Amino acid sequence: MSESLLAGLKSQYLEIEGRLGAAEDAEAREAVKREIIALFKRVDGALTELGQLKDGIRGLAERYKQMNNAAGAAPAGPAPAPQFTGARPAAATW
């Protein structure tokens, strides 16, 4: 999600949140209710699109792995544990 979209959604949320406390009559509360529903639907739609994009990225990664294996490259194994330099800390003795 782009930073501007996220910022816009947060801004809309904060605006609704501020008006929710100030909605004194039934008409104002109903307007806030409609805006909450619209914001929820907008966020839900964005999440659905992001989920689809995430699945597509997984497909790209799988295709990359297959392509890499077909080219004779050794599959990447786990990274070796980091090796630290310098003096080892001494254990305290009681």
For 34-55, write each residue's pLDDT tens digit: 999 999 999 999 999 999 999 9
Burial (CB < 10 A; 0-12, 13-18, 19+), residue 12, is middle
C-alpha–C-alpha distance, residues 50 and 43, integer Å = 10
pLDDT of residue 44: 96
Arithmetic mean of pLDDT, 68-85 = 72
pLDDT of residue 47: 94
C-alpha–C-alpha distance, residues 23 and 17, integer Å = 10
pLDDT of residue 73: 60
C-alpha–C-alpha distance, residues 73 and 76, integer Å = 9
C-alpha–C-alpha distance, residues 47 and 1, integer Å = 9
Q: How confident is the model at residue 56 (pLDDT cuts 50, 70, 90)?
A: very high
